[in-house]
Each structure stands twice: as C-alpha cells, then as structure tokens.
A = this chain, B = another copy of it.
Amino acid sequence: MSDSSTRRPAVGVRDVAALARVSPTTVSNALSGNRPVSSSTRERVVWAVEQLGYRPNISAQNLRGRRTGLIGVAVPEIDVPYFAELIRHVVDASRQRGYTVLIDQTEGRLEAERFVLNGMNPGMVDGILFSPLSVDRTECETRRDRTPLVLLGERVSGHGVDHVAIDNVAAAADATNHLIRRGCHRIAAIGYQESHGGGTAPQRTQGYRTALRAADLTFDPVLVRHTDRYHRRDGEQAMMELLDSSGDPDAVFCYSDLLALGAIHALHDRGLRVPEDVAVIGIDDIDEGRYSTPTLTTVAPDKVAIANAAVELLFDQIAGTAQAPRQVVAPHTVEVRRSA
C-alpha cells in the first residue's frame, strides 16, 4: 500500500533562510517585497527557494495576515446556465486581482443561505458574493457578521447592503413592449412569484403590468402563471397549463431563459409554431438561446458588467475603502432573435 498521503516535512521559510544564510524575516521580505532587500541577498534567497522548491504555506499566511485570498460565491444552483456564466466572469475578474473563488451551492435552502450571511466559516473567505433566494432583505441587512458582502440580482432599492442588478422593472417592461410592438395582445407571463422579501419576480411582474397598461391592454390574471423554480420543466408545465386554460395567449414573457426554453418545448409538443402561433421572450441571454430552435429572443443583462461591478464593490469593502452601501444598476438590452 502506497502511502501517498504522507506530507513530506514541507520546506519552510526557515529552511530557505538557512540555505541562503539570512533570517526568515529577510526571506519573507525578499519574497513579498514588503521591505527593501539588497539585490545580492534577494538573489541568494531566490536561488534557495528554487533549490528547495519552496512555496509558502497559505494557511500560515492567512492566519498571520488575516486574509485568505479567497472569495466565496454563493448561488442556488451552479448548473443553472445563467449562474454558471456569471460565475465564469466572476472567476475571471477575481483572478485578475489574485483571488481564487470558492463555490457554495445553497439550493435556495434557508439554512444554507443563513450560513452564507454569517460569513460562512470564520476566516474562510475575505468576502462573499451572494445571490439569495429564500432569505429576505431585512435579514440581509441586519446580519451580525461583518464579512464583506455583495448581493447579486437583488432588488435595487434596499439600503443596508451593496448589491448589483439590472433594473428588473424596466427589463420586464422592455420585454413586454417588444411583444406588444410585434402586435401581440394576449400576452402571458410565466414565473410570477409572491413578493417575499424583495425578490426579482415581483419587479418583473410590475414591469409587465406597467407595459400592458401603457398600451391599453387589459391585465388578465389567467395569463399570469406562478412557478416555484425557474427551470426548463417549470416553463414547460406552466405553458401546458396556459394552453389548457381559457387564456388563449399569442405571446409569453418568461422570467428566465430556461422557463422560455421549456415553454417552447411545450408549444412544439402541442404542435404550435413559435413565433407564428405564440411568440416567446425570456430574460438572461444564456448561450443556449443562440442555438435553440427557434433562436430565443431575450433580455440580455450585461453579465460581464455585473461580475466586474460586484467584484469591485467587494474589493472596496475588503480594502476598507468602501463608501456607504452602494447599488449598481447594470445595463440590459433586448436581443431580438427568432422566437419573438
């Protein structure tokens, strides 16, 4: 049996110091650049480091320096394309600042989200990017933990915590208006949810209703479908219900691309054409929608801008240069493709 878990005695600063004939202090300074070191000394240190294959122990640096070089990203599900794409940009933005990303998947569970709000494990991360689902705004704002925190995709009207999101009311109105301009007048909405602490769904419903009203279209509750989640299967099921109801929609505004893709699946199943019989628009602009049949018209949040803004806010907090809680509104555009 090979004992692959044996940690070899790990070469430390002391070994490097001994070989380079300097003190550990000087090794540290030479490597970090925190204090000036004569070039000849530095050379010997570097030589010794290479000689020994020395690499500093992160945990020790963390303990001493009170930073981990890690930021936590907590999302409900990492295999939801929108989150996967967003995380990718977060990882890129973080790496540029020498930070590594640690993933936490909450699945929207209250307990898991409270753990996040409490800064995860003490000293585990320097800051957290958090996309909440179950926890309400009040809870976000009254938390006791002081770990730097930035909320993602949350309502842009709170005041206790930094957050970045698109203008969800405007985004929903833009989507609905696109359908109206297309000539649709029985416009359904899929993804409705009761307000519970400032989620995005109520804002989207608001934008939808506002756009209908502005166009003198009547709001028909039969056309508004609740879904628990925003997955393909939820969109499929809601669309089925819609078709089985007396609603007779000629268009559907879905609160996520996944919902929209599920809805299209249901429409095809029933032998209906998209967009001829029913036009479909989503929100998220995930890559999948560029290749679906038909391609998906959608509201595109600027994910790179969201990731960059979120990381920047977080690093301002970490650096201690943060101003009062800020809210960033990232831009969005309507991507017109074939489905609407």
Residues on A facing B (Cβ under 8 Å): 1-8, 10, 53, 55-60, 62-63, 66, 68-70, 77-79, 81, 84-85, 87-88, 91-92, 100-105, 121-124, 144, 146, 148, 232, 236, 261-262, 264-265, 268, 287-288, 290-293, 317-324
Structural contact, A100 and B102, CB atoms closer than 8 A: yes
22 contacts between A and B (CB under 8 A): A2-B322, A2-B323, A4-B146, A4-B317, A4-B320, A5-B148, A53-B144, A55-B121, A56-B122, A58-B124, A60-B63, A62-B62, A78-B78, A78-B88, A79-B84, A91-B103, A91-B105, A100-B124, A101-B102, A103-B103, A232-B290, A261-B291
> Known interface pairs A84-B79, A268-B293. Does A122 touch B5 (Cβ–Cβ under 8 Å)?
no
Structural contact, A81 and B81, CB atoms closer than 8 A: yes
- Chain B neighbourhood of A60, CB < 8 A: 63, 123
How far is A293 from B288 in the complex, measured between Cα atoms in Å?
Answer: 12
| Closest beta carbon of chain B to A282's beta carbon, Å | 13
Structural contact, B59 and A63, CB atoms closer than 8 A: yes
Structural contact, B63 and A91, CB atoms closer than 8 A: no
| Closest beta carbon of chain B to A94's beta carbon, Å | 10
| Closest beta carbon of chain B to A270's beta carbon, Å | 13
